[in-house]
Amino acid sequence: MIRHSARIRVRNLNVHYRSLHVLKDLSVDIPANQVTAVIGPSGCGKTTFLKSINRLIDLDEEARVSGEITVDGLPVLGSGVDVTEIRRRIGLLSQRPFPLPMSIYENVAFGPRIHGLSNGRSFDQLVEYYLRVAGLWEEVKERLDAPAAKLSIGQQQRLCLARGLAVEPEVLLCDEPTSSLDPLSAQHLESSLKDIKRDHTVVLVTHVLRQAERLADYVIFLYMGELVEHGPAWDIFNNPQKPRTQAYVAGEFS
């Protein structure tokens, strides 16, 4: 068995929104180059957890975050941290795709234009490469200059994936990325995610248990802001230890 090093280390993570205690003392290690599914009923803090990892939670003035998160040893929380660099290294695929108000080409090239090109590839090569990774190239190669907003929702989500990968993050956070997609597009995206874990650590928030079963190598179960159980996916789904996990996995509540 290959031993994976822990890429994301979370210690005593607490998040408050005003008087609301949303995440309660979370400590967990998220393994590298695997898909880690964060599951739990809605309102349990899954999205808040994701947004703490890439500091998008900073955009909410009412959120207070404490604790420690490191990605490959690099601290994420704290005021001295370069947030833009953190977010470059930790990409996000959100619930509903929001392409940028520009062409398909420029959407993918946006990140590299801002952060600079790496390893001497041209923009054209880069755009083609990431559109291929996201499985969109064949559908759009004839109309790269068309507005991204003209694509279907499923295509937009794959474009957002290409756009996110183009800044070469080490971690990709996915917040229910298939929830607004039709079944076929969802399937498309899932198969891309399976390929992507070769080079990236994937954290997938989902409320679809089946999806977690299909994709996850590792599972974190949250309930009302608390970490109930975490472990390899097979263990969680087939041999959960805690009664709440058993009930949730059995579909007794959702």
Partner 1 sequence: MKRETLWRIEETVMRVLMIGATALALGCLALILGAVVWKGLPAMNLAMITQCPQGGYYTGAGGGILNAILGSLYLAGGATLVALILGLPIALYLQVYAGRSGLIELVRLALDVLWGIPSVVYGAFGFSLMLLMGLRASLLGGVIALSLVELPIMCRAIEEVLKMVPFELTESAYALGTTRWEVAWKVVVRQALPGITSALLLAFGRGIGDAASVLFTAGYTDHLPTSPLRPVASLPLAVFFQLATPFPAVQQRAYASALVLTAIVLIISILSRLASTRLSRFVVK
- Report if residue 179 touches partner 1, rule: CB under 8 A: no
Cβ-based nearer residue to partner 1, 185 or 245 = 185
- Report if residue 111 touches partner 1, rule: CB under 8 A: yes
In the chain, the amino acid numbered 182 is D
Cβ proximity of 148 and 99 under 8 Å: yes
- Report if residue 41 touches partner 1, rule: CB under 8 A: no
CA atoms of 43 and 104, how far apart (whole Å): 34
Q: Which one of residues 21, 96, 207, 214 is an interface residue with partner 1 (CB under 8 A)?
A: 96
Both structure tokens of 79: 């005021």
Q: What is the DSSP letter of 180?
A: T
- Report if residue 208 touches partner 1, rule: CB under 8 A: no
**Least Å distance between CB 253 and partner 1?**
28
Cβ-based nearer residue to partner 1, 40 or 164 = 164
- Report if residue 160 touches partner 1, rule: CB under 8 A: yes
CA gyration radius for the chain? 18
Cβ-based nearer residue to partner 1, 51 or 230 = 51
Q: Which one of residues 42, 59, 73, 184 is an interface residue with partner 1 (CB under 8 A)?
A: 59
Cβ-based nearer residue to partner 1, 83 or 247 = 83
The H-or-E segment that residue 37 falls in is strand 35-39
- Report if residue 69 touches partner 1, rule: CB under 8 A: no
CA atoms of 203 and 31, how far apart (whole Å): 10
- Report if residue 17 touches partner 1, rule: CB under 8 A: no
CA torsion angle for 111, 151, 56, 184 (degrees, to 10)?
-120
- Report if residue 149 touches partner 1, rule: CB under 8 A: yes
In the numeric block, the tokens 């590298």 are attached to: 32
- Report if residue 234 touches partner 1, rule: CB under 8 A: no
- Report if residue 87 touches partner 1, rule: CB under 8 A: yes
Q: How far is CA 56 from the centre of its chain?
A: 12
User: What stretches of the chain show up as alpha helix (H) in DSSP?
Assistant: 46-53, 83-89, 104-115, 123-133, 137-140, 153-165, 183-196, 209-215, 233-238, 243-249
- Chain residues 113-142 in contact with partner 1, contact rule CB under 8 A: 114-115
Cβ-based nearer residue to partner 1, 48 or 245 = 48
Q: State whether residue 139 is helix, strand or coil.
A: helix
Task: List C-alpha distances in Å: 224 to 41, 156, 221.
Answer: 8, 32, 10
- Report if residue 54 touches partner 1, rule: CB under 8 A: yes
Q: Which one of residues 11, 88, 207, 214 is an interface residue with partner 1 (CB under 8 A)?
A: 88
Q: State whether residue 39 is helix, strand or coil.
A: strand
Cβ-based nearer residue to partner 1, 30 or 166 = 166
- Report if residue 164 touches partner 1, rule: CB under 8 A: yes
Interacting residues with partner 1 (CB under 8 A): 54, 56, 59, 61, 84-89, 91-92, 94, 96, 98-103, 110-111, 114-115, 147-149, 160, 163-164, 167
